[in-house]
Amino acid sequence: MSLAAEVAMAESTSPSSNAAKEDELADLIHRFMDSIAEYSDRLPFAIDRQKVRSFTTLAALAITLLFAWKLLRAPSEQQRRPRRRPTPSASNSNTRTRSGTTPFPEVCSSSGDSRAQDAVNQLFQPVKLTLEQLVRHKLSEGRKVTCQLLGVVLEETTPEELQKHATVRPSVLEVLLEISKFCDVYLMERIIDDESGEKVLSALSDAGVFMSGSLIKDKVLFCSTENGRISFVRQLEPDWHIDTSPEIIHQLARFIKYQLLISPQRAERVASNVFSSTNLEQFFGGLDQR
């Protein structure tokens, strides 16, 4: 029988139990008075039986009041509390433990539940990695990286746009500088004229790319054809190459350990060593996107 059922049964039987106790008390008082009266008849001197009964009545009333006062002092919760279940013996506990059942308390305090829930939440909350840790993890401890400029580091996407202006994407700057802290980074792009190259170098300098000293202007390479970029990458033999051209990524897949294709649309994976992302900062934004 459950604890709730026992409490309900105890509460349902308490009125009848109290009535039985009152009847028993009244019977006890009457018998006590009769005994006093019989005892007075055996005494060698005469005693007024009416006075004896009056004295007995007063004594019985005092006893009744004392008994009632003690009952009123007891907390009502104790009157309704069911009897405790017998504590299982050591042998029973051992038997339960051996059978795979661990005894637990039937009632847990709310504060204990709260502390336990807080401990569980703290244990399983996701670990927040720093950008440095994310970069190192994603690049698999690579030490040399080659990266196209157009569409990755720069806002512009065609060499024709570079003839007019060059703009560094602000959101990619932090990631690029973090990569350059522990990787040898080479930036490269196809340009139409020398003025376009000067615009690119000026934009990179103004954005602070060269301030850390990890990235220098001599590691910004320019060529006039797409095949020239492929040639740069083959000669440098990087651990990672980052590009926006699926054709170049495909041609280099056999020679480069890892590659990252930057594309607005999620491209199909052409090889096991080729990854894709909509932009560079998103690729390093979380471990679940690898």
What band does 290 get if pLDDT is binned at 50, 70 and 90? very low
How does strand 220-223 pair with strand 184-190?
parallel
What band does 141 get if pLDDT is binned at 50, 70 and 90? confident
What band does 288 get if pLDDT is binned at 50, 70 and 90? very low
Give the integer Cα–Cα distance in Å for 76 and 29: 26
Q: How many residues are there in the chain? A: 290
Domains of the chain: residue spans and CATH: 3-80 (no CATH), 131-289 (3.40.50.1000)
Over the range 124-159, which residues count as b (16 or more CB within 10 Å of their CB) and which as e? eeeeeeeeeebbbebbeebeebbbbbbbbbbebeee
Predicted local confidence at residue 112, as pLDDT:
57
* pLDDT at residue 98 is higher than 60: no
Q: What angle do CA 61, 65, 68 make, to 5 degrees?
A: 135
Give the integer Cα–Cα distance in Å for 172 and 227: 26
What band does 129 get if pLDDT is binned at 50, 70 and 90? confident
What band does 212 get if pLDDT is binned at 50, 70 and 90? confident
Global pTM value: 0.56
Residue, of 141 and 77, whose pLDDT is higher: 141
Give the integer Cα–Cα distance in Å for 260 and 182: 18
Residue 58: Cβ within 10 Å count: 10
Range in 80-89, 140-149, 232-241 the model is least confident about = 80-89
Predicted local confidence at residue 69, as pLDDT:
63
What band does 285 get if pLDDT is binned at 50, 70 and 90? confident
Rounded to the nearest integer, the mean pLDDT of the chain is: 76
Q: Which two tokens stand for residue 228?
A: 């020239």
* pLDDT at residue 102 is higher than 70: no
Range in 4-18, 182-196, 208-222 the model is least confident about = 4-18
